[in-house]
A and B are shown apart, each in its own frame.
Chain A
Amino acid sequence: MSGIRVENLRKTFDNFTAVDDVSFGIEEGELAALLGPSGSGKSTILRIIAGLERPDHGRIYLTSREVTHHSVQERNIGFVFQHYALFKHMTVEKNIAFGLEVQKKSKKEIKAKVDELIDLVKLEGYNNQYPHQLSGGQRQRVALARALAPEPRVLLLDEPFGSLDAKVRKNLAQWIRDLHKRIHVTGVFVTHDQNEAMEISDKIILINRGRVEQIGTPREVYETPATKFVASFVGNVNVVESVISDGSIFINGVSPDITLQMRECDLAPGEVVLLVRPEEISLARAATENNLPGIIRAVHYRGSFYEVEIDVGNNLVKAVIDKEEYKAEEWRAKDPVFVLFGKYKVFDASEGYQQVHSMLKQYGYIE
């Protein structure tokens, strides 16, 4: 792994272990995603690679050279910050030229490179604009160009999709992918959005609570999740078609005597869908308040956990349970079971369930 390699990284803040024995490698020219929920330590890992934080333990290698004790300036990395961190008082041109001026390149070289990059990020004509005159997406592109100008060995991006709205994000994601194909720099980006990670990275590194959960291609991670966390973080959300009426949620196909109480939900009565992640579903043998009756359709063994498919009314729902729980209950196909939704989101589906499904597909919630 000659692009980026980290070994046994550890970082503690006061009493909190942010990064716990993290090791992974990225090939030269690969674009990898550090994927995980907020607070998982992924940004810290990125900053450690950059040299903005010092690890308590471990090694970092960039293009096969050890840089663990090198200063940020010495590492020759390109870093794109979440909120771009453009130099407000400098034009687009000056921003991009900054790294080259620091390297004391000649004026001619700088001009040529800057023009090349402005071309690359499709910001022709914006040379003399100031950051406050640009849109979010444009600022993002300037940040990218600025980071790439000094021809870094490695490109690091911190939540590049974070501050943008959905449509711009989609375009930007593809665009980063294309750019990366053209430039061939080793790249790592941090994100909590599995859809973008899946869409554009060569390799996904899943981080949870400071630890590596799985490393693999998007397909591997999606089809053969190594842990329960990966399975529920990457992958589909369950879509449960229901109706809101009289302040309660009636699940399609489930007896009207059994409803879910509405929770801080101010949608009008009508058709809705509930989105619930597999790990937010718990199973029980007996009925309790707020759980729903269903029949188990199938149980799949995934190595470190089990995936359970359940028919709840007219909906097929997937839950994940860990080995211990499975052993305790021994769920089998055709068993009656009661499911309890932990967290779920409610979406208005008055346009029709089909519409909702295509919208959710478009936004990447479901395949």
Chain B
Amino acid sequence: MSSKIRYKSPRALKPGDITLRSISFVYIGFLIILPIIAVISGMFKGGLANLWKQITLPQALFSLKLTFICALAIVVINVITGTATAWVLVRYKFPLKNLINALVDIPFAIPTVVTGIMLVLLYGPRSSIGTFLNKQGIEVIYAKPGIILALAFVTFPFVVRAVQPVLMEMDKDMEEAARTLGASRFTIFRRVVLPTLLPAILTGTALSFSRALGEFGSVVIVAGNIPFKSQVSSVYIYGEIESANTQGALGTAMVLLVSSLLILIVLNVIQRWSNKYEAHS
């Protein structure tokens, strides 16, 4: 071997590295950073005082309250159903299991407006179930239950898919050890399994909360646009945009934007914290 292979330190830049990096910077800068800055500057342009006024308008406030309450309800629902579904899919064998496992992803594949249409078909005023429920005084469409139903559908996979891999990787040893120490099945689940799953559950929850806050397509069809009743923030913002009331839209949009960013940060923190116990294992 006569040729010398030049050793390059891993940090050395290779030809084209800068080009690729610049391309990425421009792409991200133009498509993501620029719009966000534009919105933030728009916020300051109108004046913070005005912004606050817009946010605290009764209709805006109501929509925010409704949105957050529904998102929280979804969180509670998903924690229970998502964990249970993941558990069942990983630990048990039963007929049609593979089919259900595959279908868990359907909410990711179906357009949100189609979800809205499906729900209206089932529970709308022209359906048998809808008319029956209406007679009992229960409104689904154009009311809170409809919103919750739509949100539950579109956020269903988040917790399930977050918990499944962790459950699959879990060492069954710990559960057996707990058995030898006399723990009942429920105690084992509560004190051994659940704490191990907690980071994954939280991740899935944060994702579904974030999604529920911003969901539009399904909710606008199912709940319509009735102020002070079934108007969530995304629909309110839409209304403001359509009425060319930029400041009005900005205010509530900022609240949603900031919430989303906070959730992203929380997610990051959860990731880092969950790696704590695996440090030297």
A contact residues vs B (CB 8 Å cutoff): 50, 52, 72-73, 76-79, 81, 83, 85-90, 98-99, 102-103, 130-133, 146-147, 150
Shortest B169–chain A CB gap in Å is 12
B182 within 8 Å of A (CB atoms)? yes
B53 within 8 Å of A (CB atoms)? no
User: CA–CA, A257 to B250, complex, Å?
Assistant: 96
CB-nearest residue of chain A to B198: A89
B180 touching A78, Cβ below 8 Å: yes
User: CA–CA, A8 to B205, complex, Å?
Assistant: 52
User: CA–CA, A90 to B280, complex, Å?
Assistant: 15
A–B Cβ pairs within 8 angstroms, 13 of them: A50-B180, A73-B184, A83-B173, A87-B174, A87-B178, A88-B278, A89-B196, A98-B181, A102-B182, A102-B183, A146-B181, A150-B181, A150-B182
User: CA–CA, A130 to B277, complex, Å?
Assistant: 8
Instruction: A73-B179, A83-B173, A98-B178 given; name 6 further pairs at CB < 8 Å.
Output: A79-B176, A85-B171, A85-B176, A86-B177, A132-B278, A132-B281
CB-nearest residue of chain B to A76: B182
B196 touching A88, Cβ below 8 Å: yes
A52 touching B183, Cβ below 8 Å: no
- Provide the residues of chain B in CB contact with A79, threshold 8 Å: 176-177, 180
A-B contact count (CB 8 A): 70
- Provide the residues of chain B in CB contact with A86, threshold 8 Å: 174, 177
Within 8 A of A (CB), among B177-201: 177-184, 187, 191-192, 195-196
B279 within 8 Å of A (CB atoms)? yes
User: CA–CA, A150 to B195, complex, Å?
Assistant: 23
Shortest A285–chain B CB gap in Å is 53
Q: Which of B173, B191, B196 lies in contact with A81, CB distance below 8 A? A: B173
What is the 8 Å Cβ interface bit string for chain B, positions 50-63, against chain A (1 contact, 0 not)?
00000000000000
User: CA–CA, A89 to B281, complex, Å?
Assistant: 12
Shortest B166–chain A CB gap in Å is 12
The residue in B177, B181, B184, B192 that gathers the most chain A C-beta atoms within 10 A of its C-beta is B181
Q: Contacts A85-B171, A89-B196, A132-B279 hold; do A52 and B179 have CB atoms under 8 A apart?
A: yes
What is the 8 Å Cβ interface bit string for chain B, positions 237-281, against chain A (1 contact, 0 not)?
000000000000000000000000000000000000000011111
A85 touching B174, Cβ below 8 Å: yes
User: CA–CA, A231 to B171, complex, Å?
Assistant: 38
- Provide the residues of chain A in CB contact with B173, threshold 8 Å: 81, 83, 85
Within 8 A of A (CB), among B23-76: none
Q: Which of A77, A89, A132 lies in contact with B280, CB distance below 8 A? A: A132
- Provide the residues of chain B in CB contact with A73, threshold 8 Å: 179, 182-184
B181 touching A102, Cβ below 8 Å: yes
CB-nearest residue of chain A to B185: A73
